[in-house]
Chain A
Amino acid sequence: MCLAVPGRVLEVFEESGTTMAAVDFGGVRKKVCLAYLPETGVGEYVIVHVGFAIQRLDEESARETLATFERMGLLEEEFGDGFEAAARQKGVEA
């Protein structure tokens, strides 16, 4: 289920009484129904499934999540056994 992809809203307009949007997926553009997220503004990100925006993508949250992943393992490298950390690092790069 759920092949849903994030895209950026380029334009919001009405069509047959329904709120629609032109959404950009990194160079590919498609018309998407925005009726479930009518407050979305141009430049914001939404998650699109079968031609409908089902939820907004919280960019701040996305950045935080990635930052958390980036910090993982670093504390141990700082305070852990230097040789062990180096050996593990070597294993990562192999």
Chain B
Amino acid sequence: MKYLDEFSDPDLARRLLDQIHAVTTRPWAMMEVCGGQTHSIIRHGIDQLLPEGVEMIHGPGCPVCVTPLETIDRALAIARRPEVIFCSFGDMLRVPGSHDDLFTVKSEGGDVRVVYSPLDALQVARDNPDKQVVFFGIGFETTAPANAMTVHQARRQGIANFSLLVSHVLVPPAIAAIMESPTCRVQGFLAAGHVCSVMGTAEYPPLAERYGVPIVVTGFEPLDILEGIRRTIVQLEQGRHELENAYPRAVPAEGNPAAMAMLSDVFEVTDRTWRGIGTIPGSGWRLAPRYAEYDAELRFEVDDIRTDESPLCRSGEVLQGLIKPHECPAFGKECTPRNPLGATMVSSEGACAAYYAYRRLDLVAAGEVGS
């Protein structure tokens, strides 16, 4: 694909790596926020190729992983109802709730459908006027505009049998929460490129200033990631802590004003609990009161949600970058992609899943995990 393949060129990657090695004089620890970036780093083996001492701490930028357990249980309860067609992105299907997951609900007769876009769910609502269609609206700021437009369209076209179960999370409050944590080791951030495509870069200079960390807006292809890492290290070596944009082809400083206008119409900021981490104030979006009729949380009364997280699961510490996946005792043993204990082993971007898929070879060789 044009403007994608060129950014995987191995020769240029080698040059960027050489540059990184040339400028690094001491250990640094930086965090890539976005799960898609984690996936790319591990899949291409970028972390194996960085200088000794440069550590990538994997951040909580996996919306699947951080969706609160209570929301998952609520989704499962709604999906089980006979009058409901529950639509979701494929990522969510195997995320474990307290007792089961959407996949199990489907196999027990629930009408659970995977869609590529929320607009597909709206079409399902049009095609099935006698059913209640619910869409599971998870994601960061990147995905929120799509969900917002869908609700907006539902209203405009008078589609009453459609509702959204919203669980959006925001990046800047997460960065603040991570930096506020007493055990924080993060010295720089690769900000999530496509989040910034929507929201622009304005929210980040204050964070860079307040916490004294360089923040570099970074893309997802190998060359983009290497360049983001390179610029972060250059700043660290020079003692600077500024916002830089290493993904200008997709990120104008002002973001997408049309999308942002829709977002402020459809959503309002709320406190959000991040699974495994805790409540981060002002870190989420929920449907604004003027769209309350499309809020699945209000439309479906779900009582008796008693959440029950696996006592073995240490997703939260992984999400905060406190431990690496293979440092969790359950990794590769009680917890595998086939039998995940937590969301980080299910999601294709979750750090545990990425490590299991791509890093297992090294871990097996080092005797840290059975094959």
Contacts and interface: CB of A to CB of B under 8 A. Distances in A.
**Touching in the complex, A and B, CB below 8 A?**
yes
Contacts of B227: 65, 69
B73 interface: no
B259 to A, nearest CB: 5
Contact of A2 (B6, B116, B194): B194
B259 A36 contact: yes
B36 A3 contact: yes
A57 B250 contact: yes
Nearest to A55: B197
A1 B259 contact: no
A70 to B, nearest CB: 7
A65 to B, nearest CB: 6
Contact of B34 (A2, A7, A16): A2
A8 to B, nearest CB: 7
Given A1-B62, A2-B194, A26 B1 contact: yes
Contacts of A4: 142, 194, 197
B145 interface: yes
Interface in B6-62: 6-7, 9, 11-12, 14-16, 18-19, 34-36, 61-62
Contact of A26 (B2, B14, B139, B251): B2
B295 interface: no
A7 B119 CA distance: 19
Q: What DSSP secondary structure best describes chain A's contact surface?
A: mixed
A6 B4 contact: yes
Contacts of B139: 1
B270 interface: no
A58 B258 CA distance: 18
Interface string B64-84: 000000000000000000000
Contacts of A54: 142, 145, 194, 197-198, 256, 259
Contact of B262 (A2, A36, A57): A36
23 contacts: A1-B140, A1-B142, A1-B143, A2-B192, A6-B2, A26-B1, A26-B2, A35-B149, A35-B258, A36-B256, A50-B118, A50-B146, A51-B120, A54-B198, A55-B255, A55-B256, A57-B249, A65-B249, A69-B12, A69-B223, A69-B227, A70-B12, A72-B19
Interface of A: 1-8, 16-18, 25-26, 33, 35-38, 45, 47, 49-52, 54-55, 57-59, 61-62, 65-66, 69-70, 72-73, 88, 92
